Chains A and B, each alone.
Chain A
Amino acid sequence: MTSVIENIQQGQTVTDEQLIARFQQGDNYAFDLLVKRYKDPLLNFVFRFLGNTTEAEDVVQETFLRLFKNKHYYKEIAKFSTWIYTIAGNLAKTELRKRKRKKFFSIHQHAPEDRDFELPDKEATPDEVTDSQITDQIIQEAINKLSPKFKEVIILRDIQGFSYEEISEIINVPLGTIKSRVNRARLKLQDDLKSLMPVNQ
């Protein structure tokens, strides 16, 4: 079997499943590549779920730590992407529960996130940048208000672009339920975000 580095040097695309297989055989370079591939998509998924980049980054770190420790639990019957998103999603839900408990016992409010919308679009004018940031913030607040079961499906479907079948695998819920949840989450967001909707649509 050729090494991951050789495959990359030969210009071949190495699949996630090949990488995890190499990692399971002790090739830590394959782990580095998986981290490189998934750290940003996972961060975006968890960030939209929690609404806080610092906490989201910590959850993503924990996800990769779990992957490193439990690499042998992965079996090739599932896609690697669905497996890693399942781990991250479960950790994010745990974090959300912890936060609820903290809120229950503390009167302090969470500090406002300072890194959420720091990515200006170079082609946009300052006014447009501000508008875009505010819109993003309003949308994020509407997402935060959704219950976890609606939140995770809308993030996976509309933000991350997963298929219904993949979402069903990730959160281990029947396909019909996923479709129903996506529809209800979209209608709920549409109702909450009426102010953002273009007039005469």
Chain B
Amino acid sequence: MISCDYAKQQFSAYLDNGLSAAEQTELEYHLSNCKTCSSEYAQIVFLHQRLHNLTTVNTSPQFDQILRTRIMHDNSVNGNSRFILKNLYLGIAGVTTLAAVTFFTLTTINEPSVNSPGISVHNAQTVSSSNRSLHQVDAQPKLASDTQEQDSLKLPTKPVDQSKIHLVGQDQK
């Protein structure tokens, strides 16, 4: 005869018709001769039936509505995050472009222009100032010659003829 421990291991399989014919015969023989195992097996059967007949629970009446809301909310959240991500990419692209354009513009403006020999006196001040800024960057010692250059561009002052000056009070006299 099989041992009680071995019989216990077979209970589930016996209950679920999972034993071979030989195993089934062995167990049935043991159960008919062992009161303890027979009682234990009866309890397993009772428990199995009791579990099967446990009170069932049902979903709340709002279950479908809540589910629908959650699905819609989930979709809208996903939609919003996609929208935010798309805008973020566009924003980054825009800022990068703007920075590139600004950098290009600034470097182009500050670049030293090729000095043509015939610069008119009319533009002298502008040229002079742009040259000065360049010189400030390039080398300080050139400042002295810059001053001379600026001075040379000044027209010589004519002496004033004192006899041609008529003061307001003198004509009436």
Contacts and interface: CB of A to CB of B under 8 A. Distances in A.
Interface of A: 32, 35, 39-40, 43-44, 47-48, 53, 56-57, 60-61, 64-65, 68-69, 115-117, 119, 132-133, 135-136, 139-140, 154, 158-159, 161, 164, 179, 182-183, 186-187, 189-190, 193-194, 196-198, 201
Contact of A47 (B51, B52, B57, B70): B57
B3 to A, nearest CB: 15
B20 interface: no
Contacts of A64: 67
Contact of B71 (A40, A68, A161): A68
B24 interface: no
Given A186-B44, A186-B47, A196-B50, A179 B18 contact: yes
B119 to A, nearest CB: 73
Contact of B57 (A116, A135, A196): A116
Given A40-B59, A61-B63, A179 B13 contact: yes
Contacts of B11: 183, 186-187
**Among all A-B residue pairs, the 5 with the closest Cβ atoms:** A183-B12, A158-B51, A201-B42, A197-B43, A39-B59
Contacts of A32: 64
Interface residues of B, number: 32
A135 B47 contact: no
Contacts of A68: 71, 74
A145 to B, nearest CB: 14
Q: Tell me the dominant secondary structure on chain B's binding face.
A: helix
Given A39-B59, A183-B12, A190-B47, A159 B54 contact: yes
Contacts of A197: 43, 46-47
Given A65-B74, A183-B11, A186-B12, A60 B59 contact: yes
Contact of A61 (B42, B56, B58, B67): B67
A139 B46 contact: no
Given A159-B52, A179-B12, A190 B70 contact: no
B13 to A, nearest CB: 7
Given A198-B46, A201-B46, A65 B59 contact: no
A154 B44 CA distance: 12
Interface string B7-42: 011011100101000000000000000000001101
Q: Tell me the dominant secondary structure on chain A's binding face.
A: helix
B74 to A, nearest CB: 6
- Most chain A CB inside 10 Å of its own CB: which residue of B8, B52, B56, B66: B56
Given A119-B57, A187-B8, A35 B43 contact: no
A183 to B, nearest CB: 4
Contacts of A189: 47, 51
A43 B58 contact: yes
A196 B51 CA distance: 12
B126 interface: no
Contact of B66 (A61, A133, A154, A186): A61
Contact of B55 (A117, A161, A179): A117
Contacts of A117: 55
B82 interface: no
Contacts of A201: 39, 42-43, 46
Given A119-B58, A139-B51, 15 more contacts: A35-B64, A35-B67, A40-B56, A40-B57, A43-B57, A61-B66, A65-B67, A154-B51, A158-B51, A179-B13, A183-B12, A183-B13, A186-B12, A187-B44, A197-B47
